[in-house]
Structure 1
Amino acid sequence: MKSTNGDRLFYGLNYTLLGLIALTCLLPLLHIASLSLSHTQEILSGRVTLWPKGWNTDAYTSMFEGTRILPAFKNSVIITVVGVVLSMLATVLTAYPLSRKIFPGRKWFTLAMIFTMMFTGGMIPTYLIVKLFGLVNSYWALWIPSLVNTYNMLVVKTYFENIPDELEEAAKMDGCGQWRQLLQIILPLSKPVLATITLFYAVSYWNLFFNVMLYINESVKYNLAVLVQQMIQNQQLLQEIVLTGAQVEVVPESLKAASVMVMMVPMIVLYPFLQKYFVKGVMLGAVKG
């Protein structure tokens, strides 16, 4: 069908608006990357914009040698990998029975979980419960309270409901039980939504900051998000790092930019592997029809 002038105007405005929004995300990222890779004199003179000037990796060298960036990175990986595995298991095992019509009371269970999206116990009662179970200063305090995200569960549940009932009936005729049906039929057909929700959980766990500060007492257990925040806010710490790497020429601004890049790169690298599932997973999991 031929596009009308109104359609072309609409699409043109959409592309322009989305392009401007994309630039507001891309340009700061390019600037930070340029600061982390530019020569000290270029940074001090304010000539660094969107491209590195005087290629220099001293900031990364000083950061890896003078900070706990590698242990913190390891902690972030542990928190993210274990958290994603636990959350995906819990989300799938919650969404699957709630998507089956034969499950008694599934609507009431669903409404009860939706209720938690609008009303929570609050920070202090949650902390007291976590402390009561002896989870303070343990990564379990990060995993268990946020094990299932209700929105993610509803997306997976709706996706499962969109899978044709004929497949379930055929599986039952072949003697397929619920567990086998879930593992061999439902999950292989749900790769788009599973990849999408995996990305949501991965970003959430990787960026954990407040809960780490609230529940983790030992600095050796801090993740990358907390360490980067401390590096950015603590000028004394930055100066100590600069003095540690006295044999190289580096400034605090470059160290801040390098720490932010180390924080962002893993998720940027992960996204392209899941991007092809992203739109399909969200759309099919969010719309019942």
Structure 2
Amino acid sequence: MAMTTGEKWFQGFAVVLSASLSLAMIYPFIHMISISLSTPAEALRPGIHLYPRELTLDAYQKALTSNGMWYGFQNTIFRTVVGTFLSLVFMSMAAYPLSKKDLPDRNFFMMFIIMTMFFSGGLIPTYLLVKNLGLFDSRWVYVIPVLFNTFSLIILRNFFMEIPSELEDSAKIDGANDIRTLFSIVIPLSKPILATVGLWSAVMHWNAWFDALIYVQDQSKVVLQVFIRRLIVENQDLEIMKMMDDQKSLNAETVKAAVLMVATLPILLLYPFLQKYFIQGILVGSLKG
């Protein structure tokens, strides 16, 4: 059936709007990539930077030889991988019983959990709790305090409620207990929602910096985002600043752009591998309450 004039205008407007928004989001990345690959003179040139006119990899070379960069990468990868894995395990173990209608006082537990979305202890009590638990200046401070995310827990619970109970009953008839049923039946059927929640958790861990700033003093345990903040916002990374003073082929803009690209690309490259699960998981997990 042919589209009406109004539908054609609407479709054209939607295409133009989508293209404009896409360009607005893509151009900053193109600009930063161009700056990071440019010489200092070209990087300081005013105007639009769509491609490097004078190509050089000096900024990447110096950024990747910084000890602070590698310490940050190691700690960020640790918190992202370990934190995401443990969050999925513990949130799944909490969401599974909450998805059962025969759980005693299920509504009370859900109300208690949902309250944590609106109320928190505050920064000072949280700081004292972390210190008293012995997590201060430890890499585990990146993982344990953020094991649970209430919104993700609710999404997981709703997805588990959609799984036919007959599958679990058949497993129990064969002698499986609740733990075996969860990890042998429920978890394999929940790949879409686990991939979705896992991506949320990974992005959160990769971008987090405030907890490292207030809980960690050992500079070999800080995460990548703290290193970037000190370099870009505070200009405090003495190692890279000395490199720029020693070599005229570097300046602050090219090195900062290179550091941003190195820190951003890994988490961006993760999304295509999870995209096929993402939409399915979020739609199914948000339907049933």
Mark yes or no: TM-score above 0.5: yes
The C-alpha deviation readout for 1:174-211, integer Å capped at 9, x for no partner, is 44322222122111111000011111111111111111
Quote the residue 2:31 is aligned against.
31
The C-alpha deviation readout for 1:59-103, integer Å capped at 9, x for no partner, is 011222345211211111111111111111111111111011222
Quote the residue 1:43 is aligned against.
43
8 A Cα contact 2:100 2:161, kept in partner: yes
Distance in 2, matches of 1:2 and 1:174, equals 57
Return the TM-score normalized by structure 1.
0.92
Quote the residue 1:81 is aligned against.
81
Quote the residue 1:197 is aligned against.
197
Return the TM-score normalized by structure 2.
0.92
- Overall identity of the aligned pairs, in %: 39
Are 2:283 and 1:283 equivalent residues in the alignment? Answer: yes
Distance in 2, matches of 1:104 and 1:51, equals 62
Distance in 1, matches of 2:52 and 2:231, equals 22
The C-alpha deviation readout for 1:215-256, integer Å capped at 9, x for no partner, is 111111111100011111233645323024x2x611110011
Distance in 2, matches of 1:162 and 1:10, equals 36
Quote the residue 1:240 is aligned against.
242
Aligned pairs for 1:133-144 (under 5 A) are 133-144=133-144
8 A Cα contact 1:33 1:257, kept in partner: yes
CA RMSD of aligned residues (A): 2.0
Quote the residue 2:208 is aligned against.
208
Quote the residue 2:151 is aligned against.
151
The C-alpha deviation readout for 1:11-36, integer Å capped at 9, x for no partner, is 44444333322222211011111110
Distance in 2, matches of 1:81 and 1:283, equals 25
Distance in 2, matches of 1:14 and 1:277, equals 26
Query: More deviation in 60-69 or 76-85?
Result: 60-69
8 A Cα contact 2:75 2:139, kept in partner: no
Are 2:218 and 1:218 equivalent residues in the alignment? Answer: yes
Partner-residue secondary structure (3-state), 1:136: coil
Change (3 A) 1:64 1:92: same
Aligned pairs for 1:53-72 (under 5 A) are 53-72=53-72
Distance in 2, matches of 1:164 and 1:66, equals 53
Distance in 1, matches of 2:272 and 2:93, equals 27
Distance in 1, matches of 2:84 and 2:49, equals 37
Distance in 2, matches of 1:70 and 1:180, equals 40
8 A Cα contact 2:36 2:257, kept in partner: yes
Change (3 A) 1:2 1:122: farther
Quote the residue 1:250 is aligned against.
250
Quote the residue 1:90 is aligned against.
90
8 A Cα contact 1:37 1:52, kept in partner: yes
Change (3 A) 1:160 1:251: same
Quote the residue 2:122 is aligned against.
122
Mark the runs of 5 or more structure 1 residues left unpaired by the alignment: none
Change (3 A) 1:2 1:287: farther
Cα shift at 1:49: 1.0
8 A Cα contact 1:72 1:223, kept in partner: yes
State the one-letter code of the partner of 1:112: F
Change (3 A) 1:4 1:90: farther
